[in-house]
Structure 1
Amino acid sequence: MTQFHPVPSRYLTGLIGRDIQASLSPFLHESEADAQGFRLVYRLFDLAAEGMDAGDLPRLLDALQLAGFAGVNVTHPYKQAVIAHLDELSPQAAQIGSVNTIVFGDGRRIGHNTDVQGFAENLRAGLPSGSQFRKVVQMGGGGAGAATAHALMTMDTGTLVLFDPNTDRVRDLCVSLCSYYGEGRAIVGQDLSSGIGEADGIVNATPLGMVGYPGSAVPRDLLRPDLWVTDIVYFPLETQLLREAKAAGCVTLDGSGMTVHQAAGAFEHFTGRHADPRRMAANFRAALAD
């Protein structure tokens, strides 16, 4: 006899990170569940606010799993650190070496990455038709940067030039990217001025610009009108980088689209139900306007 498993009508989910009190992820997920007629509770686990750090991840994950959470999102700076505490990775998360979504089920923790699709969808929808990707400069090679780098490769970026203060990390990322997409497709940046001088676009995949991390990863005097510039940060929606890029005449793209599309992917992992990205985007913009 086939055993019947009812679809849950209530889900517990959340977000693990640092300095995330301004996150709109709870609203994004909860409002989408409300629109579909079921209950989803999304909690913030701000390790900075709780006086915790990466060493507390194992017991936090244990507690969430025992409490019956369907899963959690993971954000800066734990997208790579959390991998050691999971039982399994999806093929894409393993390829990238970064996890932004964990699903709990059958006593196991499975890591996924929805950032790649989220970032690629934002570029496709947000940049003008005909935007060039012959050479792209990316600032940051951490967990989010690994995802955006893989997304840029799927967008047929000719050469991706990566800058990060952690040279070992960015070198390892380049080796990984070249093994998947072809030798020479990703290189470690040596000089930011010359790198941007030859680039079609710039990606900020660092936390610089978000609440709690003021500043810009790119000096203002390196920006010029023929560049497109995008930021993964969404709070504030206009970061210092985007504000200065807009003043320089660049095409700019904020991080809201990536946030919405990655959230839609995570929502499906948590609930098994498709999200409506257009509805989520409208709700997101409305919340930002309040």
Structure 2
Amino acid sequence: MSLPHESYLIGLIGDGVTPSLTPPMHEREGEARELLYLYRPIDLLTLGLPAQSVGDLLRAARLLGFNGLNITHPCKQLVLEHLDEIDDDAARLGAVNTVVIRPDGTTVGHNTDWSGFLHAFRSGLPGAELGRVVQLGAGGAGSAVAYALLTAGVRHLSIVDVDDARAADRAAELASLFPDASVEGRTTAELASLLEAADGVVHCTPVGMAAHPGAPFDTSLLDARQWVADIVYRPIETQLVRDARAAGCRVLDGGRMAVGQAVDAFRIFTGIEPDAERMRAHFLELVESEAALAEAGAL
């Protein structure tokens, strides 16, 4: 076996990122590709730092020889002003979650939230009908997912959020970027009728997470002809995923997007195409181990 030909030092900046599954996913893939690949969380909560310190942390990473950083909540917008360049998609979304630090010290921002979902959608739901799609959630993750759906070719996208104004604003922003599609913000009161006419449903709210159990809507409204995508991945088997499968729907679990983000970031950092299925298998191992530990601790 040949020796690793390169080394990479990568970090993850955000609140509460110490338990993130992204570092081990990257490191395992780096090992498989015979790279010296070290990925460390830089947890603002642990360090007692405010989100506004992201610029200082970026400068420190550059001085310390980091090759790149992933950026997560609450710094995806705050980091923009500290970058030398921002790619077109990240600029349109107004958010960066992946920063490359070039050898000359200049920085380039990317967004793999949208591309990660797009990769997950195309690989996990090939041939999905794109006529009418309902999306629940218009926050940061929802913006990236909606951008991906419209890039994939969704012709009519209805965005529903508990904050009607946020849904309307997000829809207007996206409509200006995708003039050939119909994008509209709708209210939760209209959800039942929207679901009845939908070809697909995408869920982008915290409902279904371990701390927020349950389903985001009455899943008896689902029909077997529809596809359903969830972006929640802790747990992988959310109530929405279980109910949608039981209804006969084609389903995309939230782990697909999480892996898609990591796949794209690994490629951006290294210039090497990772094995997406291998990373997916490792991710599922990590989730299963995490769930087993949590269950053991509850006994």
**TM-score with structure 2 setting the length:** 0.83
Residue 241 of structure 2 corresponds to residue 242 of structure 1: yes
Q: What CA deviation, in whole Å up to 9, does each residue of 1:246-269 have, x standing for no partner?
A: 344432211222222221211122
Of the two structures, which has the highest relative contact order with CA contacts closer than 8 Å and spacing of 6 or more?
Answer: 1
Residue 200 of structure 2 corresponds to residue 185 of structure 1: no
- AA partner of residue 261 (structure 1): G
- Displacement of 1:188 in angstroms is 0.4
Residue 120 of structure 2 corresponds to residue 119 of structure 1: no
Q: What is the CA–CA distance in structure 1 between the aligned matches of 2:46 and 2:240, rounded to whole Å? A: 27
Number of the residue aligned with 1:46: 43
Equivalent in 77, 94, 97 of residue 91 of structure 2: 94
- AA partner of residue 269 (structure 1): I
Number of the residue aligned with 2:105: 107
Q: What is the CA–CA distance in structure 1 between the aligned matches of 2:100 and 2:107, rounded to whole Å? A: 6
Range with greater deviation from structure 2 (205-214 or 142-151): 205-214
- Please give the residue correspondences for 1:50-69 in structure 2 after superposition, counting only pairs within 5 Å: 50-69=47-66
Number of the residue aligned with 2:263: 264
- Please give the residue correspondences for 1:1-290 in structure 2 after superposition, counting only pairs within 5 Å: 9-105=6-102, 106-127=104-125, 129=127, 131-182=128-179, 185-190=182-187, 191-290=190-289
Question: Contact between 1:79 and 1:143, CA under 8 Å: does it hold in 2?
Answer: no
Q: What CA deviation, in whole Å up to 9, does each residue of 1:117-149 have, x standing for no partner?
A: 3212212222264x3221111122233222211
- AA partner of residue 89 (structure 1): I
Task: Please give the secondary structure, in 2, of the residue aligned with 1:152.
Answer: helix
Question: Contact between 2:134 and 2:202, CA under 8 Å: does it hold in 1?
Answer: yes
Task: Please give the secondary structure, in 1, of the residue aligned with 2:38.
Answer: strand
Question: Contact between 1:21 and 1:46, CA under 8 Å: does it hold in 2?
Answer: yes
Question: Contact between 1:98 and 1:144, CA under 8 Å: does it hold in 2?
Answer: no
In terms of fraction of residues, the more helix-rich structure is 2
- Displacement of 1:213 in angstroms is 4.7
**TM-score with structure 1 setting the length:** 0.85
Label 1:104 to 1:170 Cα distance change in 2 as closer, same or farther (>3 A). farther
- Displacement of 1:86 in angstroms is 2.4
- AA partner of residue 120 (structure 1): L
Label 1:19 to 1:193 Cα distance change in 2 as closer, same or farther (>3 A). farther
- Displacement of 1:212 in angstroms is 4.5
Task: Please give the secondary structure, in 1, of the residue aligned with 2:65.
Answer: coil
Label 1:127 to 1:174 Cα distance change in 2 as closer, same or farther (>3 A). same
Range with greater deviation from structure 2 (203-212 or 274-283): 203-212
Q: What is the CA–CA distance in structure 1 between the aligned matches of 2:84 and 2:212, rounded to whole Å? A: 32
Q: What is the CA–CA distance in structure 2 between the aligned matches of 1:82 and 1:217, rounded to whole Å? A: 31
Label 1:62 to 1:128 Cα distance change in 2 as closer, same or farther (>3 A). closer
Label 1:218 to 1:15 Cα distance change in 2 as closer, same or farther (>3 A). farther
The two structures, once aligned, show a CA RMSD in angstroms of: 2.5
Q: What is the CA–CA distance in structure 1 between the aligned matches of 2:166 and 2:82, rounded to whole Å? A: 20
Label 1:218 to 1:42 Cα distance change in 2 as closer, same or farther (>3 A). farther
- AA partner of residue 158 (structure 1): R
- Displacement of 1:221 in angstroms is 4.5
Label 1:50 to 1:198 Cα distance change in 2 as closer, same or farther (>3 A). farther
Q: What is the CA–CA distance in structure 1 between the aligned matches of 2:215 and 2:100, rounded to whole Å? A: 34
Tell me the matched-pair count. Answer: 283
Q: What is the CA–CA distance in structure 1 between the aligned matches of 2:221 and 2:136, rounded to whole Å? A: 13
